[in-house]
Amino acid sequence: MMQVDQVVHVTLKERLKEIFGYSQFRGDQEAIINSILASRNTFVIMPTGAGKSLCYQLPALVTHGTAVVISPLIALMKNQVDQLNAFGINAQFLNSTLTKAEMNKVKKDTLNGTLKLLYIAPESLTKEENLDFLKRANISFVAIDEAHCISEWGHDFRPEYRKIRGIVDNIGDLPVIALTATATPKVQQDIQKNLQMENADIFKTSFNRKNLYYEVKPKIDAKKQLIKYIKNNKGKSGIVYCLSRKTVEEIAEVLNVNDIKALPYHAGLDPATRMANQDAFLNEEADVIVATIAFGMGIDKPDVRFVIHYDAPKSLEGYYQETGRAGRDGLEGNCIMFYSYDDIVKLEKFNKDKSVTERDNARHLLTEMVSYANLGTCRRRQLLSYFGEYMEKDCGFCDNCLKPTERFKVQDEVVLALRAVEQTDERFDASHIADLLTATDNQYVTSYEHNKLDVYGKGREYNESVDYWCSVLRQLTILGYIDKDVDNYGVLKVSEKGKRYIEDPYPVTLSKDHNYDQQIADGEEE
Ligand code: ADP
Ligand code: ZN
**Which atom belonging to ligand 1 lies closest to the Cα atom of 53?**
6
Rounded average pLDDT over 229-253: 97
- Please tell me the distance between residue 25's alpha carbon and the centre of ligand 1 in angstroms: 10
Report strand pairing: 304-309 vs 508-511: unpaired
Ligand approaching nearest to the C-alpha of 396: 2
Q: Is the pLDDT of residue 305 over 90?
A: yes
* Predicted TM-score (pTM) of this structure: 0.80
Strands lying side by side in the sheet with 139-144: 91-94, 117-120, 66-70, 139-144, 176-180, 42-45, 201-204
How does pLDDT run across 484-516, given as a tens digit for each residue?
875 566 789 999 999 999 999 999 999 999 998
Q: Check: CB of residue 415 under 8 Å from CB of residue 501.
A: yes
> For residue 86, which amino acid is it?
A
How does pLDDT run across 274-293, given as a tens digit for each residue?
999 999 999 999 999 999 98
The residues that bridge with 234 in the sheet, in sequence order, are none
- How would residue 388 be classed by pLDDT, with cut points 50, 70 and 90? confident
Q: Is the pLDDT of residue 179 over 50?
A: yes
Pocket of ligand 1 (CB under 6 A): 22, 24-26, 29, 46, 48-54, 300
Integer angstrom CA distances of residue 125 from 80, 135, 152, 268: 18, 12, 20, 28
Phi, psi of 84 (to 5 degrees): -65, -40
How far does the chain reach from its first CA to its final CA, in angstroms? 63
Rounded average pLDDT over 360-387: 92
H or E segment and range at residue 480: none
Q: Check: CB of residue 140 under 8 Å from CB of residue 2.
A: yes
How does pLDDT run across 408-434, given as a tens digit for each residue?
999 999 999 999 999 999 999 999 999
> For residue 215, which amino acid is it?
E
Q: Is the pLDDT of residue 354 over 90?
A: no
Three-state secondary structure along 67-129?
A: EEEECCCHHHHHHHHHHHHHCCCCEEEECCCCCHHHHHHHHHHHHCCCCCEEEECHHHHCCHH
Residues 506 and 48: their CA atoms lie apart, in Å, by 39
Q: Is the pLDDT of residue 366 over 60?
A: yes
Q: Is the pLDDT of residue 9 over 50?
A: no
- Please tell me the distance between residue 22's alpha carbon and the centre of ligand 1 in angstroms: 10
Q: Which of 157, 180, 188 is nearest to 388 (CA)?
A: 188
Q: Check: CB of residue 286 under 8 Å from CB of residue 256.
A: no
Residues 16 and 215: their CA atoms lie apart, in Å, by 38
Q: Name the closest-CA residue to atom 9, ligand 1.
A: 51
Rounded average pLDDT over 144-165: 85
Q: What is the pLDDT of residue 521?
A: 79
How does pLDDT run across 95-118, given as a tens digit for each residue?
888 899 999 999 999 999 999 999
- Please tell me the distance between residue 441's alpha carbon and the centre of ligand 1 in angstroms: 53
